[in-house]
DNA sequence: CTATAATGCGAGCATTCACTCGCTTTTCCT
DNA sequence: AGGAAAAGCGAGTGAATGCTCGCATTATAG
């Protein structure tokens, strides 16, 4: 196995100016990933688009992977923010309402930046792998917590299995809806898909 | 957008010897993809492992992408073979039986070569994109055909929506079961997963 | 056996790319 | 003001890689 390149910043941005530089670099990386694809994403190009020199880039990011990892982390954090707040909102709702809400949120989350999501999903470099796993684990445990406190509404079923299946299903439907079918889908179609997915999951749980 | 590299063979292998060369090259590509990852997969290395010179490689494959595409096609064909025969076997079975069989087959298919599947799923180059879409379309239409001829066992529901949701679900569960959790799962656990997934899908359809 | 086509070879070319280093400019602190 | 620390610069370096091309070897046909 190959040694993985470092991911931690070489130095922390302290002053205002340097924080802006770091931001510009991450933003540029995301934009190039979307607009030109992973292969075309070179450090020289990133620096160019960010309006920064390669030298400065390497002051804050020890490797190209570190930059991509930063993009992944930012994107994941954005999504996790939504998921976390939604799951607390939903905590007191009955299963039917809660699941419907989760399905909606899953699709919304995938719509934040579908192209970036696609590129990250397709081309996850080794660097981002850990982040994504942590992400999955957190979603899993949040959903499981909800199930635990709503056990009475549910039939007898292993909670881990239920969580695994439900999360996989909702994620897959959202992913495929937004990415595979793109704009082919009318709003009405999307609503039907959400209704039916909700129905399936709810029917499954009780 | 960048122009995509050609994928068609530069010339067809006619004689026995050259067919063996082509095979060795595809096989070597698959092995390197699995053992050393996409990044380490260079044409020079492929030729080396295949016991063939780079020059010969380029007699049959116009680009590196063409080689990867060939691997993808071979893998997809292997899976599609299983899916096709299973769906004809299943054509006369009632929904319950049929779905259970399909879930089993989905997992089996993912187990053919999990590592290769993972690499291909993660690192699909532009070249393989079309193949994968064709693959999805075929699965979709096969499943839809089954649903059509079993409409009486099902509640009223748009067949495309039903197909989309069912295929997404089964694929996602199989994928995550085999790849995310790897060997962490006991056989019993897998059986439970299959039972529950079947239950969910069947419950959804009627 | 000989001519022709098919197959195979691999050093090397051209290019790309991640990353370094010596230096300048800007900001902060007293 | 002035010195130190932080931030920024970008030409240049070395390594990797996709691919070509001229030639060598092997198979087929007449």
Backbone conformation region of residue B173, classed left if phi is above 0, alpha if psi is from -120 to 50, else beta? alpha
| All structural domains of chain B | 16-62 (1.10.10.60), 68-205 (1.10.357.10)
Residue A201 makes CB contacts below 8 A (sequence gap 6+) with A99, A103, A166, A169, A170, B200
CA–C1' A54–D8 (A): 10
Closest residue (CA to C1') to nucleotide C18 in the complex: A43
Residue B80 makes CB contacts below 8 A (sequence gap 6+) with B135, B138, B139
How is residue B18 written in tokens? Answer: 């050259």
pLDDT at A87 over 90: yes
Residue B43, CB, less than 7 Å from strand C? no
The partner residue sitting opposite A165, judged by closest CB among B39, B161, B173, is: B173
Residue B169, CB, less than 7 Å from strand C? no
Measured CA to CA, the distance from residue B128 to residue B204 in angstroms comes to 33
Identify the residue whose tokens are 């990933």.
Answer: A33
Per-residue pLDDT band at A2 (split at 50, 70, 90): very low
CA–C1' A104–C22 (A): 55
Interval B81-102 mean pLDDT: 98
Interval A13-39 mean pLDDT: 92
How is residue B38 written in tokens? Answer: 């996409």
Interval B54-72 mean pLDDT: 96
Measured CA to CA, the distance from residue A198 to residue B20 in angstroms comes to 52
DSSP alpha helix (H) spans, chain A: 16-36, 43-50, 54-60, 64-90, 95-111, 114-122, 126-148, 159-175, 187-205
Mind listing the pLDDT tens digit for each residue in A138-171? Answer: 999 999 999 999 999 999 999 999 999 999 999 9
pLDDT at B53 over 80: yes
Interval A72-98 mean pLDDT: 97
Measured CA to CA, the distance from residue B124 to residue B67 in angstroms comes to 12
pLDDT of A6 reads 59
Indicate the average pLDDT of chain B.
91
């Amino acid at each position: 196995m190959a040694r993985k390149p470092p991911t931690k910043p070489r130095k922390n941005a302290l002053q205002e100016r340097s924080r802006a530089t770091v931001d510009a670099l991450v933003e540029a990386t995301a934009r190039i990933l979307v607009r030109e694809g992973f292969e075309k994403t070179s450090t020289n190009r990133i620096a160019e688009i960010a309006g920064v020199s390669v030298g400065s880039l390497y002051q804050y990011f020890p490797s190209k992977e570190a930059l991509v990892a930063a993009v992944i982390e930012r994107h994941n954090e954005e999504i996790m923010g939504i998921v976390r707040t939604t799951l607390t909102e939903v905590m007191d709702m009955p299963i039917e309402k809660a699941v419907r809400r989760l399905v909606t949120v899953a699709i919304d989350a995938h719509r934040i930046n579908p192209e970036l999501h696609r590129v990250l999903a397709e081309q996850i470099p080794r660097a981002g792998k850990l982040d994504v796993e942590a992400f999955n684990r957190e979603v899993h445990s949040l959903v499981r917590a909800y199930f635990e406190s709503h056990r009475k509404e549910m039939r007898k079923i292993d909670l881990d299995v239920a969580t695994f299946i439900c999360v996989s299903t909702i994620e897959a439907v959202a992913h495929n809806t937004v990415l595979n079918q793109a704009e082919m889908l009318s709003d009405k179609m999307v609503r039907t898909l959400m209704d039916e997915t909700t129905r399936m999951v709810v029917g499954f749980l009780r």
